[in-house]
Amino acid sequence: MADDIKLKFGLQRNRSYLNRDFGDFRGELLRYANVYFKDKIQDFSEASMGGLFLDMAAYVGDTMSFYLDHQFRELSPNTVTETANLESMIRNAGLKIRGDSPASVMVNFYIEIPAVQDNVTGEIIPDPDSIPKIKDGARLVSSNGINFYLTETLDFTEKTPNGKYAAQVTPILNSAGSVTSFVYMLQGLTVSGTIATEEFVISSSFVPFRTIKLTNQHVSAVLRVYDSEGNDYHQVESLSQDTVFRKNKLSNGDTSIEVINTPFRYTMDTSIGDRTSTIRFGSGDGSNITDVKIPNPSDMALPLYGKETFSKVSLDPNHLLRSTSLGISPTGTTITVVYRHGGGSNHNVDADSINEIQEIEYSFFQAANYNKTQNIKASLAVSNPKEATGGSAAPTLLELKNFVTSARSMQNRVVTTDDLLARIYTLPTEFGVVHRANVLPNPENSLSSILYVISQNSLGELVPCSDALKRNLSTYLNEFRLIGDAMDILDAHVLNFQIRINCRFTHTVNKYELISKIISEVKKLYTKEKIALGKPIVVSEIRSVVQNLTGVISVVDIELINVSGTIENRSYSSTKKNLSEILDNDVYFIDPYEIFELRFPNNDIIVTVI
Amino acid sequence: MAIENRLQTRKEYSFKAVGLSKRETSKPTERALRPVIGIKTPMTLSSSDGIFSMHRDVGDQISDNLRNLILTNHGERLGFYDFGANIRPLVFSLGSDDADMVAIERIGVAVGKYMPFVTLDNFQVLIDRFDNKEVAKVGIVITYLIPAVDKLTRKLEVILYVGG
């Protein structure tokens, strides 16, 4: 075989400007000296003086190469080794460094309310004057000594729109069969950790971007920051964010979301080294808050009055920094910080291990009888039906490195559909939960889109989102949308359906058992987690599942039928559609604003054995 | 002196009587024509070899290198921690059989690794018992051969200052 000329005579320089070590440098220097200074010196063996000089030069090159490589390595989150550089990358990527994470768990709160006779109807009802509220911040302790704090106020008096108590109410009967009292049960979210309060005396001298360092490590949440004048400071992601969301409880029980302006704000950073946290305030002069919030640049700009020429004027950027546009820096006050700290995997306590109540605060009606309230307090019991989850050790440096790469694609605005859906699904749950959403262009207006949303009720059925949720969604998304984006929020259409399966079984099989198995397996295909707006139903998937069950000889026919309205006390969505018209090559296609729901699988999967 | 012949007009010169012109004497000598090998130590400035005085004889260069190898201790050479015979830790004990054996072994290992073309022949320790008032001195005398160069047995004497 002929030689490859190109390979033989072509340029085959194997150059490497990085990763050169002592041996590479020495070899290269030796080659150079032998080529160009052969007549001056020949002995470069290790034992010779020439070799010694060569070694020194190679050593310098090796050292410089090492630091050059090191500098390059420090530029990438995948290869960075110095903690300070990694910390800087993490902050640039917008990631929050955290310490040990706390665990959270829903805890059942049981109280016994005495029964009274309704003056009007004569019914035995819970004494309405004795029903309390349990305020947030109640401290519970698990059997292994971990503190859990209640994060929300539990209002046992709260009623649903249909007039029933939101709490689960169970009557207690005496031996004679008459109701003596009622046990109320409400679930509340609790979070593990320890709540600490620290005070910081702030001098009267103005310091822009003043920082205060919290004593305890692993701060999981700052609950409140306020000064001695009563100003509440709000946590923001960056000091340029001048608004925060605030939740408001409406008179009808709904929670609305509101955007409020907050000149008193701070950011919190956690050190990667010791996992202590630092609070950083803004640059505005707190003693001068009544002044204009953003200075007029012309006040400090060019002195042009009565002049046609002017010299170069130096501007002091500190004048701009003293504005409140980046928040207030407190002066001459005392800052109080209430925060929760601590966490770790040992906080993931077992089910039924949170039984002890350490601190709790009730709120009763004025009319409540003192003795009754004492009895009700004494009746309080707590228990966690499930184990606590979420407690974990602080992320290691390696884990943080991995987060940096993925965090770089995050952004604090909505540009793409994925951004929008991510925002919708991360709406804080207290403002409502959107189960599924989809965005479509508006056929009426090319400059706007339509956001179709669907929610779930307490039974897990797909229902239209409440108006309150849509309003909250609108307020929430408005903070992230681009200025030209317009969006209509509409309800998605729920298509309830029945699956009718005709099949043949072997003679030996227990038909009822096999039918039950078919229903069980087909049900798994259409659980709440697997459905989405616009997602079609592929008949062959059902056929495959049924056919693969032992005892099924053949699947003769599978048909989907739309069901709507009320059938045998089962309430379906009102959407009607002839599904045979949307069947195409074994696939039922629906519009992107529609969603299939197998609402009552035990009734809506009908198996007929031929 | 030329001898005149009467019959013919010719002159005869003896090569023995002919001297060398100035131009001829300024030609490089044979020694100077030999290529330079390496830097001579201790380093000195040179007017003829370039910046430093240089060895032009392979044997001399190897002897020079061998002396430096024996005088170097571990950790002294940049980039080669184990370069050298590492004799200094033994200077207080040289003269005893055990220390001499260790020294011989160390020299053998160092030469074997860094100057394998040298064949060591004999090892001798000198204790200077007279000129040792201020700083005691210990000498090592090594005889060796460089078979690739010639068949000469060479001798190297190095003085180690005890505690100095």
Taking only the tens place, the pLDDT of each residue in B31-41 is 556 788 999 99
- The answer to whether residues A506 and A372 belong to one domain is no
Give the C-alpha separation, B55 to B45, whole Å: 13
Q: Tell me if B29 is assigned to some domain.
A: no
Residue A221 shares a structural domain with residue A174: no
Spatial distance between the Cα atoms of B76 and B69, rounded to a whole number of angstroms: 11
Closest residue of B to A59, CA-based? B79
Is A8 a domain residue? no
Residues of A in contact with B43 (CB under 8 A): 49
Same structural domain, A145 and A276 = no
Structure-block tokens of residue B24: 């001829």
**For residue A552, what pLDDT is reported?**
92
Residue A486: beta bridge partners?
Answer: A448
Across the interface, whether the CB atoms of A56 and B39 are under 8 A apart is answered: no
Note whether residue A276 is domain-resident. yes
**Contact by Cβ (8 Å): A501, A551:** no
The shortest C-alpha distance from B50 to chain A (Å) reads 8
For residue B70, the domain's CATH number is 3.10.450.40
Q: Which residue of B has its CA nearest to A49?
A: B39
pTM value is: 0.60
Asked if B41's CB is within 8 angstroms of A47's CB, the reply is no
Residue in A48, A55, A56 closest to B38 by CB: A48
Distance from the Cα of A82 to chain B's closest Cα (Å) equals: 26
Looking at the domain assignment, is residue B97 inside a domain?
A: yes
Say whether A49 and B77 touch across the interface (CB within 8 A). Answer: no
Task: Note whether residue A579 is domain-resident.
Answer: yes
Q: CA of A53: which chain B residue's CA is closest?
A: B78
Distance CA A64, CA A441 (A): 58
> What pLDDT, on a 0 to 100 scale, did the predictor assign at position A247?
78
| Domain containing residue A179 | 104-193+344-383
At A508 the pLDDT is 87
Greatest CA separation for chain B = 88
Residue A289: the pLDDT is 57
Q: Judge if A465 and A499 occupy the same domain.
A: no
CA closest to A23 among chain B residues? B79
* Residue of A43, A46, A55 with shortest CB distance to B38: A43
CB contact under 8 A, A59 and B78: yes
Residue A215 lies in a domain: yes
pLDDT in tens, A145-155: 999 999 888 98
Q: How many Å apart are CA A146 and CA B161, to the nearest integer? A: 71
Cα angle A529, A534, A538 (rounded to 5 degrees) comes to: 75
Q: Which of A27, A50, A73 is the last residue of a domain?
A: A73
Start-to-end CA span in chain B (Å): 66
* CA-closest candidate to residue A391, choices A341, A348, A340: A348
- Torsion sign, CA atoms B8, B9, B14, B15: negative
Residues of chain B neighbouring A27 (CB-CB closer than 8 A)? none
**With contacts defined as CB-CB under 8 Å, which chain A residues touch B64?**
48
Chain A residues within an 8 Å CB radius of B41: 49
In a domain, A390, yes or no: no
Q: How many CA atoms lie within 13 A of A332 on its CB side?
A: 7
Residue of A nearest to B49 (CA): A40
Q: Mind telling me how many Å the CA of A22 is from chain B's nearest CA?
A: 8
- Encoded amino acid at B30, one letter: E
**Given CA atoms B119, B122, B123, B125 in this order, what sign does their dihedral have?**
negative
Q: What's the sign of the alpha-carbon dihedral A579, A585, A590, A595?
A: positive
Is residue A523 in a domain? Answer: yes
Residue in chain B closest to A43 (alpha carbons) equals B38
Q: Are residues A522 and A564 in the same domain?
A: yes
Work out the minimum CA distance from A43 to partner chain B, whole angstroms.
Answer: 5
Asked, for residue B102, whether it belongs to a domain, the answer is yes
The CA distance from A16 to the nearest CA of chain B, in Å, is: 22
The lowest-confidence range among A101-115, A313-327, A561-575, A585-599 is A313-327
Across residues A28-42, what is the average pLDDT? 89
A486 shares a domain with A401? yes
Structure tokens of A319? 């004048």
Cβ contact, residue pair B50, A55, below 8 Å: no
Whether B50 sits inside 8 A of A40 (CB atoms) is yes
- Among A446, A466, A491, the domain-final residue is A491
Give the pLDDT band of residue A360 (cuts 50, 70, 90): very high
- Which has the higher per-residue pLDDT, A410 or A152? A152
Q: Which of A491, A515, A541 is the last residue of a domain?
A: A491
CB contact under 8 A, A43 and B114: no
Kindly report the number of other CB atoms within 10 A of residue A470's CB atom: 19
Are A164 and A286 found together in one domain?
A: no
Q: Are A333 and A353 contained in the same domain? A: no
Q: Choose between A332 and A17: higher pLDDT.
A: A332
Tell if the CB–CB gap between B79 and A22 is shorter than 8 Å.
yes
Nearest to A603 by CA among A568, A559, A579: A568
Backbone φ, ψ for residue A165 (5° rounding) = -70, 140
Contact (CB<8Å) B35/A55: no
Residues of chain A with Cβ-Cβ distance to B68 below 8 Å are 47-49
3-state secondary structure of B47: coil
Q: How many alpha carbons lie under 13 Å from residue A133 in its C-beta half-sphere?
A: 14
Helix (H) or strand (E) holding A587: strand A587-588
C-alpha distance across the termini of chain A, in Å:
72
Question: A31-59: buried (b, 16+ CB within 10 Å) or exposed (e) per residue?
Answer: eebeeeeeeebbbbbbbbbbbbebbeebe
User: What is the structure's pLDDT at B1?
Assistant: 44
* b/e code A552-578 from CB counts within 10 Å (16+ = b): beebeebbbebbbeeeeeeebbebebe
pLDDT of residue A295: 53
The verdict on residue B44 lying in a domain is yes
Q: How many domains does chain B have?
A: 1
Q: Please report, as a single letter, which amino acid is at residue A258.
A: E
Number of CB pairs, chain A paired with chain B, less than 8 A apart: 57
* B45 inside domain: yes
pLDDT tens, position by position, A556-566? 999 999 999 98
Helix (H, G, I), strand (E, B) or coil at A104: strand
Report the pLDDT averaged over residues A145-172: 86
pLDDT of residue A186: 92
Residue B59 inside a domain? The answer is yes
User: How many Å lie between the alpha carbon of B54 and the closest alpha carbon of chain A?
Assistant: 8
Which residues of A are less than 8 Å from B69 in CB distance? 47
Q: Where are the beta strands (DSSP E) in B18-112?
A: 38-39, 54-55
Q: What is the mean pLDDT of residues B156-162?
A: 85
Question: Can you state the angle between helices A467-478 and A417-425, rounded to 10 degrees?
Answer: 130
- Cβ of B43 within 8 Å of Cβ of A41? The answer is no
Q: Give the pLDDT confidence score for residue A518 in this predicted structure.
A: 93
In a domain, A304, yes or no: no
Same domain, A481 and A513: no
Counting Cβ atoms within 10 Å, is residue B126 exposed (0-12), middle (13-18) or buried (19+)? middle
Name residues whose C-beta falls within 8 Å of residue A341's C-beta, 6 or more positions apart in sequence: A99, A193, A194, A196, A214, A216, A217, A218, A219, A220
Look at residue A323 and tell me if it is in a domain.
yes
Answer yes or no: is B130 within a domain. Answer: yes
Q: Could you report the predicted ipTM of this complex, rounded to two decimals? A: 0.76
Q: Do A407 and A538 have their domain in common?
A: no
Same domain flag for A202 and A337: yes
Contact at CB, A47 and B35, closer than 8 angstroms: no
- A402/A376 same-domain check: no
Angle at which helices B97-114 and B58-71 cross, to 10° = 130
**Cβ neighbours of B123 (radius 10 Å):** 16
Q: Of B35, B38, B83, which is closest to A50 when you measure between CB atoms? A: B38
How many angstroms separate the CA of residue A98 from the nearest CA in chain B? 44
Q: Is residue B145 part of a domain?
A: yes
- Of A232 and A11, which is predicted with more confidence? A232
Taking an 8 Å cut-off on Cβ atoms, the answer to whether A41 and B78 are in contact is no
Contact call for B77 and A55, based on CB within 8 A:
yes
Q: Which domain holds residue B71?
A: 34-163
| Maximum separation of any 2 CA atoms in chain A, in Å | 122
d(CA B89, CA B162): 10
Count of domains in chain A? 5
Q: Computed over its alpha carbons, how large is the radius of gyration of chain A?
A: 35
Residues A531, A534, A539, A545: what is their CA dihedral angle, to the nearest 10 degrees? Answer: -20
